[in-house]
Structure formats: C-alpha cells, structure tokens
C-alpha cells in the first residue's frame, strides 16, 4: 500500500496564478483532511471531507476550495494564489466513521512558494 | 485562536537524557490527546495517544502524562537518542463521533535535537 500520496512535491507560483494539489489514499478511508504547516503555528486545518461528495470548512478556509469526487481523492485548489499562501500543505486521511478515536495518516507534503 | 499551547519551541538534549514537552489546552470538550512525530521532509506520524480517563500512558521510551484538572499534558522521552531528533506536535480532539469527525487541533510544535 502506498498510503497517502500527494502531488506535486514542490511548486512555485506567481501571485494570481491558480493550481490544484492532489491527494490520494489507498486505505479506503472515509475522512480526509487538508492542513497547512507554517513555522511556529503548527498544523492548521483548511478543509475536510467525511465522505465522497462532501466537504466542509476548517479553521483557515479562505482562499482555498476543495473537491472530493472520488473516495480515494481529495483535491485542494487555489484560485488566485497570494504570498500568504506560501506554506507546506499536508493531506491526511483516517479510518471510517464509527471508531471513537481515529488515527490520521499523513502524506509527505507539498511545499508551495508564491512569489 | 490557539486552543492548544505547546512549549518549548525548541529543545536540545544530550544522548541518554530526558526530553520533556508540555501542552496546555482550553477546551474541556477535548477527550483525545495524540502526539505526532515529524522528521524533516516527511509528514507527521502518530507516536502515542492518551484518553483523559488515565493519567499516564507509556509505550517504550515514550510516556504521556495527563493532568485533567490543570488541562495539561506532556510527552516524556526517556534515554533520548539522536534518532529521536524531530519535530513533535501535541494535538487534541473531541473524537470521531458526532460532528467532530476526528478533527485535530495542533500545538505549535517543538523541534527536538538530541546530541550524540
């Protein structure tokens, strides 16, 4: 099993450009999450999904959109990138609902720089 | 609004020493407290977790101590090794039931360096 994979690994954008980050998991997990990691701020939840076709806002959703058309994939979009979105982005997934305390499994991250 | 506060921001320990990282939380509805370990260039991975019905959980050299009344919990790494050098995050959750969906609130992170 590959676990959670993310593409691309690195990306440099100019202000105003758009891009999509792809997350894929092969563990049949129901829940998927997008985080951003910034120095001194830990990981902050951007958006999450509790199943195919569903999405919800997290702590810092502004400037991002997401889609989950297939259970195994969770896409994060930046419509008009801003320098404040320079960060490392992590995708995570967790076991199907019904378990009380779900371990989240993280991907390797995407390092995004917006100039 | 940072609901989980972690300290110190960085920590340097000699091989064989004890590393201690502390976290404090505000939301009394939190009922699951995991610690994640992250190596450079990798994603975080679950290290150890505790529920508030116990005051301590030990797995090998790693121990979580939990103080419900003080709303604090800490990670102790005994006999610290250079291979333990990583960033450690505490987190808190209200679990996966209801509308919480297993969402985690993370602390700011601690960069641990263990010198040989």
Q: What is the pLDDT of residues A6-58, one digit of tens each?
A: 999 999 999 999 999 999 999 999 999 999 999 988 999 999 999 999 999 99
Across the interface, whether the CB atoms of A42 and B106 are under 8 A apart is answered: yes
Cα B15 to Cα B12, B81, B83, B106, distances in angstroms: 10, 5, 10, 27
Question: What's the mean pLDDT in B59-80?
Answer: 96
Across the interface, whether the CB atoms of B103 and A58 are under 8 A apart is answered: yes
Across the interface, whether the CB atoms of A94 and B45 are under 8 A apart is answered: no
Across the interface, whether the CB atoms of A31 and B101 are under 8 A apart is answered: yes
Number of inter-chain CB pairs under 8 A, A vs B: 68
Question: What's the mean pLDDT in A85-96?
Answer: 92
Question: What percent of chain A stands above pLDDT 70?
Answer: 95
Residue partners of B114: CB distance under 8 A and separation at least 6: B12, B13, B14, B15, B17, B19, B80, B81, B82, B83, B84, B85
Residues in A closer than 8 angstroms to B46, CB to CB, are 103-104
């Amino acid at each position: 099993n590959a676990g959670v994979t993310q593409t691309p690994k690195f990306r440099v954008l100019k202000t105003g450009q758009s891009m999509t980050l792809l997350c894929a998991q092969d563990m049949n997990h129901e829940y998927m999450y997008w985080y951003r990691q910034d120095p001194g701020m830990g990981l902050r939840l951007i958006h999450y999904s509790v199943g195919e076709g569903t999405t919800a806002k997290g702590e810092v959703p502004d400037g991002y959109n997401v889609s989950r058309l297939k259970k195994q994939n969770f896409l994060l979009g930046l419509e008009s990138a801003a320098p404040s979105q320079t960060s490392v982005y992590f995708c995570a997934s967790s076991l199907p609902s019904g378990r009380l305390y779900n371990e989240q499994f993280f991907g390797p991250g995407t390092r995004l720089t917006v100039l | 609004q940072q609901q989980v506060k972690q300290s110190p921001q960085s920590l340097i320990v000699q091989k064989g020493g004890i590393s201690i990282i502390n976290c404090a939380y505000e939301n009394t509805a939190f009922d699951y407290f995991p610690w994640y370990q992250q190596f450079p260039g990798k994603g975080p991975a679950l290290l150890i977790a505790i529920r508030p019905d116990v005051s301590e959980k030990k797995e090998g050299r790693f121990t979580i101590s939990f103080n419900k009344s003080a709303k604090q919990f800490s990670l102790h790494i005994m006999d610290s090794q250079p291979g333990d050098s990583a960033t450690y995050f505490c987190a808190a959750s209200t679990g996966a039931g209801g509308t919480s969906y297993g969402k985690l609130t993370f602390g700011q992170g601690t960069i641990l360096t263990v010198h040989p």
